[in-house]
Structure 1
Amino acid sequence: MSDMLHQIEPMIPALRRYARSLVRNRAAADDLVQDCLERAVSHWDQRRDTGSPKSWLFAILHNLAVNQFRSVSARIQHVAIDEAGEHEIGQNADQEQKLMYQDVLAKLARLPDEQRAVLLLVAVEDLSYAEAAKVLNIPVGTVMSRLSRARERLQQELERPADHQQRNVVQLRSKP
């Protein structure tokens, strides 16, 4: 038994490194190494090569990982409804977010260049009024007034229905 431990123990760090590179998760890799070591200890007398067990241990680890990949991909993940979070149950459709994003970009593009530039520098790039004034080579007061007008105009644009929504409206009934 002590001979087996002396041969296996020095290889554990290398097995852990290999397992981590395979599964890319520390906890899962440690579980995989533990399963490998358990199998190696229980089948120690069945190994063919009586020399260094290095290749034998790595083969066990690799085969366990392959079997784990196969079983995970073939198995459907079941989660109890009480334990499931919002992410497991459902998620918002990305299409709607993309359409809203495109709509905001289109409405932002309708702003006058000087208002759009100030709005982007202050609201998106998080520059201070003084920094934006320096970038645009205008007074700070001008930045503040342009920003105010840009926000107001963008708000008005966002409150109006999108162009594609107006065009895609279909009347199901004719009005009497």
Structure 2
Amino acid sequence: MFSDQAFRAELGQHLARLWRYGMLLSRNRHVAEDLVQATCVRALERSGQYVAGTRMDRWLLSILHSIWLNEVRARRVRQGQGVADAESQLTFDGEYAAQTHVMTAQVIRRVDALPETQRETVYLAYVEGLSYREVAEILQVPIGTVMSRLATARLKLAEYPPLQAVPNSPAGDRQ
């Protein structure tokens, strides 16, 4: 069993990951921050339920997902809160960064257009690198549902034309 200090230290290591998942689900910076805070509170309240030696990140992501489903999503729908614009969340510095920015924004828009269940499944599997079984546990669905959602999402994403890079400016334009 973890000491309270060790539990808190490990919890702190997962805050950025929780925030990214909160942003994916809520599409709102403030709601994502609220989700992370609520997740931390719930994790601290239920720290006795955490089994030392298991993956805390999976446990925390599952808590965050549960909070989202049970509380925040219903509140967001009632309040009609907005969507975070992918391009405003990205910055660029120089030609390489600009290319990365443009292509990343295209990928984010395409993934963002997926239905919520596919979008969160794609995020957990491909961005967070969780196994299908781990994704299924977090989302509380059968592993076959995870596989189906990912296959459907891949087919939908394959319908898009290839990503477009920003054309390089002619060498004469540089000084």
**Common fold, TM-score beyond 0.5?**
no
TM-score category (smaller protein): 0.3 to 0.5
TM-score (norm 1): 0.39
TM-score (norm 2): 0.39
Larger radius of gyration: 1
